[in-house]
């Protein structure tokens, strides 16, 4: 006998409450193994492959690619072979089944399979062939039943019958463009209206009657411009920066530095035949040395207890621009790493960020941030502190400029360094001392060889 297990979107950690479906990795009717990834979702921090703790046949998928689901909402149901004739009580990934069976026990960043069930619903279903589309479970019957695609019924549809639409995303797109769904002919199984059908209708609006004003709940916004939802990574960045501006009384100081010797030192290190070292890695090494001298800046403010918390380890974040937006990967225990090790870890995290493979653990817990905006060809900036950190070093482009060197005017490689700090944790003297030490190391890398 086959029983059905319902797998819900798990808590992906760090207080995340929702995730967007990026790519389904299985279809209805596929056989999945325990802990096999079934869907790729994008949270506010990273793209994550979600493994299913059950093995069996996929009987239903919930949600389409591009749709956002809340934590705890169903993702898929899986028909699992069972020796017990009792009814199955499907549960999420957080609990065991009623007949004593359980999931894999696997843990994915912040969730497990041994806690209490978050949601229970009694279902009995024999293992039956599945349709190739998203499907819900049918009622029990004497003979095997093929799962049938569910039909969502909106409030404005009940008077004249349901519209063959599953996805809320499809309804929302139609509503925003004033399309009457009943006028559309669905290309999916049993006339199911798909997103592609709505998009084709939008491209040829003259062939589709517009919805009545009463059924259009969202106002037309064509004349107001394009609206882009603040969600995912963009939404998380917006929330964090807004909180930083609200809570942190920041101040910024800056200085120009001659980086000619720093570039020469890097060239010499890379010519030696060892692992290649980046300029960002050299700056990271300088930052860790400067924070050892000025530990007040490797800190955070506990507002509830009105205390400054100095942190023992430097978890160095660095800003990385990706197709999904700005992310800040974190190099753990940066103060214990050599320049070569810093360079290798920064390269690894940067590649993972651009591929969308960073885990939430690699994007959280930073204590200080290095922001190299010089890669965009700009000289200066007043960066916003990455809450709840206490400071951030900004680095502009390194460019040839006239500079007085050894009493004579010369063309040197000059960089502008800007330092934004939380004025609650220190005064200008500490901030100026930190920035001056960084500038001295940039101008004379041998300063790093002195005891810190």
Residue pair 424/249 in contact (Cβ under 8 Å)? The answer is yes
Q: What is the pLDDT of residue 221?
A: 46
Of 397, 382, 398, 393, nearest to 435 by C-alpha is 393
Instruction: Tell whether 142 and 164 lie within a shared domain.
Output: no
Residue 272 CA to residue 275 CA, distance in Å, equals 9
Stretch among 166-180, 362-376, 419-433 having the lowest mean pLDDT: 166-180
Instruction: Tell whether 220 and 236 lie within a shared domain.
Output: no
Catalytic residue among 177, 294, 405, 423: 423
Q: Residue 370 CB: number of other CB atoms within 10 A? A: 23
Mean pLDDT for the stretch of residues 357-383: 91
Looking at 206, 224, 242, the residue that finishes a domain is: 224
Residue 204 CA to residue 196 CA, distance in Å, equals 13
Instruction: Tell whether 137 and 205 lie within a shared domain.
Output: no
Scan for tokens 């004379």, then name that residue: 444
Instruction: Tell whether 161 and 60 lie within a shared domain.
Output: no
Mean pLDDT for the stretch of residues 195-212: 67
User: Domain count of the chain?
Assistant: 3
Q: What is the pLDDT of residue 115?
A: 40
| Residue 423 DSSP one-character state | T
pLDDT band (50, 70, 90) for residue 201 = confident
Q: What is the pLDDT of residue 142?
A: 41
Encode pLDDT of 52-99 as tens digits: 999 999 999 999 988 888 888 999 999 998 655 444 444 444 444 433
Instruction: Tell whether 127 and 182 lie within a shared domain.
Output: no
pLDDT band (50, 70, 90) for residue 206 = low
Looking at 224, 254, 275, the residue that finishes a domain is: 224
Stretch among 3-7, 189-193, 369-373 having the lowest mean pLDDT: 189-193
Structure-model confidence comparison of residues 45 and 69, the more confident one: 69
Looking at 224, 241, 266, the residue that finishes a domain is: 224
Q: What is the pLDDT of residue 323?
A: 80
Q: What is the pLDDT of residue 215?
A: 47
Whether the per-residue pLDDT at 260 is higher than 50: the answer is yes
Element (H, E) at 265: helix 260-271
Instruction: Tell whether 172 and 119 lie within a shared domain.
Output: no
Instruction: Tell whether 10 and 119 lie within a shared domain.
Output: yes
Using alpha carbons only, give the angle 155, 160, 164 rounded to the nearest 5 degrees.
75
Instruction: Tell whether 207 and 335 lie within a shared domain.
Output: no
Instruction: Tell whether 272 and 404 lie within a shared domain.
Output: yes
Structure-model confidence comparison of residues 133 and 43, the more confident one: 43
Range of the domain at 217: 155-224
Structure-model confidence comparison of residues 355 and 236, the more confident one: 355
Residue 263 CA to residue 346 CA, distance in Å, equals 18
Whether the per-residue pLDDT at 202 is higher than 90: the answer is no
* CATH at 173: 4.10.320.10
Instruction: Tell whether 183 and 242 lie within a shared domain.
Output: no
Residue 137 CA to residue 226 CA, distance in Å, equals 39
Stretch among 79-88, 97-106, 142-151, 312-321 having the lowest mean pLDDT: 142-151
Stretch among 35-39, 41-45, 285-289, 396-400 having the lowest mean pLDDT: 41-45
Whether the per-residue pLDDT at 367 is higher than 50: the answer is yes
Q: Where are the alpha helices (DSSP H) in 382-446?
A: 428-443
What pTM, to 2 d.p., does this model score?
Answer: 0.58
* CATH at 82: 2.40.50.100
Instruction: Tell whether 3 and 46 lie within a shared domain.
Output: yes
Stretch among 15-19, 291-295, 419-423 having the lowest mean pLDDT: 15-19
Whether the per-residue pLDDT at 219 is higher than 50: the answer is no
Structure-model confidence comparison of residues 186 and 443, the more confident one: 443
Instruction: Tell whether 245 and 219 lie within a shared domain.
Output: no
* CATH at 395: 3.30.559.10
Q: What is the pLDDT of residue 134?
A: 41
pLDDT band (50, 70, 90) for residue 168 = low
Active site residue 423: yes
Mean pLDDT for the stretch of residues 213-227: 58
């Amino acid at each position: 006998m086959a029983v059905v297990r319902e797998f819900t979107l798990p808590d992906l950690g760090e207080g995340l409450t929702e995730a967007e479906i990026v790519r389904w990795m299985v279809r209805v009717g596929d056989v999945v193994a325990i802990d096999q990834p079934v869907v790729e979702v994008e949270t506010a921090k990273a793209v994550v492959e979600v493994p299913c703790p059950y093995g069996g046949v996929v009987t239903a998928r919930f949600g389409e690619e591009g749709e956002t689901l809340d934590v705890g909402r169903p993702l898929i149901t899986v028909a699992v072979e069972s020796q017990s004739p009792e009814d199955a009580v499907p549960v999420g990934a957080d609990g065991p089944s009623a007949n004593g069976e359980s999931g894999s026990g696997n843990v994915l960043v912040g969730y497990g399979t041994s806690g209490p069930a978050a949601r229970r619903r009694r279902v009995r279903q024999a293992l039956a062939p599945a349709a190739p589309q998203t499907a819900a479970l049918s009622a029990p019957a004497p003979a095997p039943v093929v799962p049938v695609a569910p039909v969502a019924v909106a409030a404005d549809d009940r008077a004249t019958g349901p519209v063959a639409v599953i996805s809320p995303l499809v309804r929302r797109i139609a509503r925003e463009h004033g399309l009457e769904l009943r006028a559309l002919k669905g290309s999916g199984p049993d006339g199911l209206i798909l997103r592609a059908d709505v998009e084709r209708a939008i491209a040829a609006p003259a062939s589709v009657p517009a919805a009545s004003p009463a059924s259009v709940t969202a106002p037309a916004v064509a004349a107001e411009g394009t609206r882009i939802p603040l969600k995912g990574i963009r939404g998380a960045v917006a929330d964090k920066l807004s909180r930083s501006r609200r809570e942190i009384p920041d101040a910024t100081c800056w200085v120009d530095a001659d980086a000619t010797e720093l570039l020469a030192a890097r060239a010499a290190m890379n010519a030696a035949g060892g692992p290649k070292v980046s300029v960002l890695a050299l700056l990271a090494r300088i930052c860790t040395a400067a924070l050892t001298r000025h530990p007040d800046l490797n800190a955070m403010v506990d507002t509830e207890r009105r205390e400054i918390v100095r942190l023992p380890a430097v978890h160095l974040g660095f800003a990385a621009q990706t197709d999904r937006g700005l992310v800040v990967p974190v190099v753990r225990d940066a103060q214990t790493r050599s320049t070569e090790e810093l360079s290798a870890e920064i390269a690894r995290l940067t590649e993972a960020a651009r591929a969308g493979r960073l885990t939430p653990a690699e994007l959280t817990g930073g204590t200080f941030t290095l922001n190299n905006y010089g890669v965009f060809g700009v000289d200066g900036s007043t960066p916003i502190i990455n809450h709840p950190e206490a400071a951030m070093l900004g680095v502009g482009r390194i460019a040839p400029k006239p500079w007085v060197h050894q009493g004579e005017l010369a063309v040197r490689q000059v960089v502008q360094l800007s330092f934004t700090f939380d004025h609650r944790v220190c005064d200008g003297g500490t901030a100026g001392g930190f920035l001056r030490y960084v500038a001295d190391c940039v101008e004379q890398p041998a300063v790093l060889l002195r005891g810190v």
